[in-house]
Structure 1
């Protein structure tokens, strides 16, 4: 598996991260096989969140693999905090208590990366800074990032937080590519020119923050996958054509499309199917041409000015 540097951290991470949001759908033997397959493929970066399965996903993950010091040393663990029922919460108290719960469920003394999940409208960045300092100095968290945040929200945090922000997890796929299309349609009078995120793609590149695309196969907001979906005939025809030329699956091409972008992104998979996971990992070995990348972009209905 090809690797990249995660932001300005010292971590070399696989270009494909393994999302564990749905691991509670697997039996213990299935979960163990899934995790071990990921490790065999070189996909040793596992993404969690304290809300996945109400915390159960983290516990299932650790139990399935029989977490111990040796196994822990073979993987990179990331989790997210800040979402509560009916609200978002970036208070110092909530961040610290959430991390303690995560560590207990994952049976580990530390997280490699902690992300703040959905932005909290009532965030007090001074409290976040205090929480990060305490987590970092105690060794409970080594690196920090955010999720679903735009540039000015990150800038506000950076005014107070001493640790670098190394990652920003954002929704991005071939069919959900507004952060790309608004940069292409600058000064155009069409919907694609609307800047919905404060030019977050360019901002992250300028500040060496790794973008982690979540739901790389989804269209809309969890409305379904676009692959093999009759709603996207032209897109699937083009992806299948390019997949055949490269001798890989359409799943591989969908991930390779994200990896082709020079921002050096790290897509987060969500599948619990071992074959699809392997197909995602194969994207590390596929390099799309500029022509292929734009053909897929346009086949998804994205326009060029």
Structure 2
């Protein structure tokens, strides 16, 4: 698959993105431990051994501890600065004394969030910043001005979004001096709205599609790299007990197993190769801390599913024939 120009210029050559939500010791108030740091070292070693160098963070992951742990790894191994490309996200606020859990794209919150990301990671420049979830109170002009200044000061290199529609991206883009380079959305073999949106027009179906219509095409047209969170469907098709799931989930697991034997790769590789086959050039984000599973995921880069096998997975997973 093709990696867009903005990302390939940064030195990203492997389409697999490593998401750091599992680092930092869990979603609790426990302090970062030496074991947490050691785990992160082992993950980084495995990623580099597999040729994966694109690292995805968010300021909220394990309440900021994921970035703290990764910052300790970077401090102990300064040579990694030239080997890894870092991305982080901001804009989600937890419930506090001021209000409920919410989204915040205000100038003050974006600036303070970036400062916090840089401090926790122990870096002065973040290659990519994504806006995590749409803020309904967003002023696109204020967001554009804030991001432009973050780039001018050298704190951030490039910008993208997460979970946003084509219209929302277009609105932000009008006030941004550089092109948005990525949109991270939930795309997987169990979350098919992004495909169904393009095939369910004018067929009189009552099938519900929640994916924002036209977003896939917008990203392709404007070379916005789609990144897929939830890409492995939490192991639904690769070994997790799914005996209580629907028949189409169980049948899809059987097809994944069949194709893994046919192509001589892991089940994870088949699931991810299905995503990567699409001409939108989807980059799967994986978050496992299991080192063997990281290696299993990377096998996807050697798989080119046939058109028939891609459709077999799609149709089986959706649980009904195409119109």
Q: Which residue of 1 aligns with 2:36?
A: 27
Does the CA contact (< 8 Å) of 2:74 and 2:121 recur in 1?
no
2:284 paired residue number: 267
| Contact preservation (8 Å) 2:74, 2:81 | no
What is the Cα deviation at residue 298 of structure 1? 1.3
1:48 matches 2:60: no
TM-superposition CA deviations, 1:26-84 (whole Å, max 9, x none): 63222211111101211110000000011110011121354554211110000001000
Q: Is the 8 A contact 1:6 1:210 kept in 2?
A: no
- Report if aligned partners of 1:23, 1:31 keep a CA contact under 8 Å in 2: yes
Point out where structure 2 has 5 or more consecutive residues left out of the alignment.
26-34, 95-100
3-state SS, counterpart of residue 283 of structure 2? coil
- Match for residue 4 of structure 2? 5
| C-alpha displacement of 1:155 | 1.1
SS of the residue aligned with 1:27?
A: helix
Query: Paired residue for 2:144?
Result: 129
Structure 1 residue corresponding to 2:300, chosen from 283, 291, 301: 283
Q: TM-score normalized by structure 2? A: 0.88
Question: Is the Cα contact below 8 Å between 1:82 and 1:95 reproduced in 2?
Answer: yes
| Other-structure match for 1:217 | 232
How far off its partner does 1:190 sit?
Answer: 1.9
- Distance in structure 1 (CA, Å) of the matches to 2:185 and 2:220: 14
How far apart are 1:185 and its partner, in Å?
A: 1.9
Q: Structure 1 residues 171, 112: CA separation in 2 closer, same or farther (over 3 Å shift)?
A: same
Q: Is the 8 A contact 2:182 2:227 kept in 1?
A: yes
1:239–1:296 contact (8 Å) kept in structure 2: yes
Asked if 1:227 corresponds to 2:238, the answer is: yes
2:48 match? 39
Aligned residue pairs total 300
Matched, 1:238 2:247: no
Q: CA deviation at 1:226?
A: 4.0
The CA deviation at 1:8 is: 7.5
Report if aligned partners of 2:24, 2:68 keep a CA contact under 8 Å in 1.
no
1:117 and 2:132 correspond: yes
What TM-score do the two structures reach when normalised by structure 1? Answer: 0.93
What is the CA deviation profile of residues 96-142 of structure 1, one whole-angstrom value per residue up to 9, with x for unaligned ones? 11011101111111111100001000001121112111111111111
Partner of 1:79: 88
Task: Indicate if the aligned counterparts of 1:18 and 1:269 stay in contact, CA closer than 8 A.
Answer: yes
- Give the Cα–Cα distance (whole angstroms) in 2 for the partners of residues 248 and 196 of structure 1: 30
Post-superposition offset of 1:218? 2.1
Structure-1 separation of matches of 2:8 and 2:38: 34
Structure 1 residues 6 and 21 mapped into 2: Cα distance closer, same or farther (>3 Å)? farther
